[in-house]
Amino acid sequence: MTKVLVATEKPFAATAVKQIKGIFEDAGYDCTFFEKYSGQDEFIAAVKDAEAMIVRSDNVNPEVLNAATNLKIVVRAGAGFDNVNLEAATKNNVVVMNTPGQNSNAVAELALGMMVYQARNHFNGTSGTELCCKKLGIHAYGNVGKLVAKIAKGFGMEVFAFDPFVAKEKIEADEVTVLDTVEELYSICDYVSLHIPSNEHTIMSINYDLLSKMKPGAVLVNTARKEVINEDDMLKIFEDFSTFKYVSDIAPTNKDIFLDKYPNRCFFSPKKMGAQTAEANINAGKAAAHQIINFLEKGDSTFKVN
């Protein structure tokens, strides 16, 4: 029996777990759920027999991959695969896939939710502002960015985007104004929503130079990755620009400094919540299960990223 390990430190919703289990049972696979584990050592011990693995933001580092001597495939149930060491996976002949688009709506809804939360002063009873008629800049127009644009239009926002990797016509087809430079996006918008992946080109790319271009009172929304922010620069921006605000689904490493000094100008989720809905868990979890079966039985490597 093929052994599958679903290693999710942050568990899927119970309904998703049930459906993932059902897919593997029907295929005659032996599926184990390894949830809420407390450290990398436990993770390493758990992967020993796994031939296939589903993970979320779990840290699939070289030690994990070396311990998983039977592993053929790992599917990251989600979009970003920066938590999987692709080099070590390839070296160990392990195929890595993601499930693009499956949790995008959940993340997009949260991005708008965070904008409302900041616009209404953290629901503290004071008078806030509205999103309607404000300019929203979408930094990277992938699956999430596209949905953020769609929802923002429902709020009556004026939507702009910067993404050198997506054809201008494709973005314009959504009635979104394409900007040619990232600097322009940051300087004209009231809200900027980040949707760039974390990789060698983007890590710490959101820096003082870029953030200092934002309008007075502007809000940066991050439902992408904390690694893309230059944290020292961000702190300086908070000091130098007294109306700058930052809401993020991924808390900065030094979150207490931000929260102590600027409690009304920032918010951080206690744990990344963007994809944490039953629907997103079902979509991404089921897609991951099917991708594993299709790969092992038919050699289908759609969504392979290494």
220 in Cβ contact with 136 (< 8 Å): no
Q: Is 272 in the site for ligand 3PG (CB under 6 A)?
A: yes
Scanning 61-69, 179-187, 228-236, 269-277 for contacts with ligand 3PG by CB under 6 A, the matching segment is 269-277
CA angle 62, 284, 192 (to 5 degrees): 90
Q: Is 79 in the site for ligand 3PG (CB under 6 A)?
A: yes
In the chain, % helix, strand, coil (3-state, to 5) comes to 40, 20, 40
72 token code pair: 């053929």
Residue 240: its H or E element: helix 231-240
What's the Cα-to-Cα distance from 17 to each of 25, 154, 268, rounded to whole Å? Answer: 12, 33, 27
Give whichever of 142 and 237 is closer to ligand 3PG, judged by the CB atom: 142
Scanning 112-120, 182-190, 261-269, 273-281 for contacts with ligand 3PG by CB under 6 A, the matching segment is 273-281
Give me the residues paired with residue 219 across strands.
191, 245
Q: Is 142 in the site for ligand 3PG (CB under 6 A)?
A: no
Q: Is 291 in the site for ligand 3PG (CB under 6 A)?
A: no
Scanning 72-80, 153-161, 261-269, 289-297 for contacts with ligand 3PG by CB under 6 A, the matching segment is 72-80
Interface residue with ligand 3PG, options 5, 29, 57, 287 (CB under 6 A): 57
Q: Is 54 in the site for ligand 3PG (CB under 6 A)?
A: no
Residue 134: CB minimum distance to ligand 3PG, A = 25
Interface residue with ligand 3PG, options 80, 101, 113, 128 (CB under 6 A): 80
Distance, in Å, from the CA atom of 184 to the CA atom of 160, rounded to the nearest integer, reads: 10
Q: Is 275 in the site for ligand 3PG (CB under 6 A)?
A: yes
* # residues contacting ligand 3PG (CB under 6 A): 11
Q: How many CB atoms lie within 10 A of CB 204?
A: 13
